[in-house]
Amino acid sequence: MRALSYRDKDTVIHALSPLAKLAWGGGLLVLNLIFNHPVYILILFLSIIPMVKLAGVGREWASTLKFTLWLGLSIIVINALFSYHGDHVLLTAPFRLPVAGQPVITLEAIAFGAVMALKLAVIISVFTLINLTVHPDDIMAVLLKMRLPYKSVLVTSLSTRFVPCLVEDMGRISDGYRTRGVQLDAGSWIKKLKNRGKITIALLSNSLDRAVQVAEAMEARAFGTGKKRVFYKDINISKMDAVTLGVGVLPLAAGIMLRVYGYGDYQYYPNLMSIGFGGWEWLMPAGMLLLLAAIVPLAFIKRRVEFD
């Protein structure tokens, strides 16, 4: 989690307007929800890779993928064990359960779980990319430009910024206990729970102290007394930023149109549909991939325009 906090880097992705990056990432999340076809979901996942490489956050992204891999495998296993739908039975249990009947593992259940795991990878990858390339203050400024309530935006921003601090505190407190000879990961699970409880108490106390410090800092700056607010940093949208914003929103608009006309859907139960495309239908996912990747060359163009 410490590695997932924002880091300022001199890359074309970091130089993009935060509004364009949030629009692109938000559109990707919406498309991930409305599409069910495995090819479309795979395209959404592949479109993230160039952004990650250009942003120079491949190592951090890979660390989250390792965690996502275990979550995805658990989704596949749980869905295969508890979802008995599907006609292609791969394995039948030699016993019967009182309510569920005789457990079976079907090909359809495994395929559905695999696609859900891929969807989870898309969601985690998008949030990882946004966290690493968009400053929290920029996110707050974008939300305020959308006319959202100021106090709600402030609370959300403070909450998200506290999470990496909380993880850093936990690591620091754990190291402190280890230097005193406390074996946090040794012994029975009851002993481990007691030792972890000591960390929880210290972590809670430290978090309360930090909350009081933030409240004192806000009070010292007379927060909430004036009607007109001033901001240390504001987001100015140039013409090139407007173009990248439009390109970032374009995949979402195209994806909604595809779903309206029946593209991007897929049937898992009771039988798996054919995963191939007939006729000119393959142009739809190919066009979606091009639209999602269009923001990459625009990032280079924006950097060149700024330097000129």
CB 136, CB 161: distance < 8 Å: yes
pTM tops 0.85, yes or no: no
What confidence tens digit (pLDDT) does each residue in 90-103 have?
Answer: 988 888 877 767 88
What confidence tens digit (pLDDT) does each residue in 156-176 have?
Answer: 888 777 877 887 888 888 888
Supply angle C-alpha 301, 132, 167, rounded to 5. Answer: 175
| Residue 44 pLDDT class (50, 70, 90 cuts) | very high
CA distance 198 to 5: 26
Q: CA torsion sign, 162 to 17 to 234 to 28?
A: negative
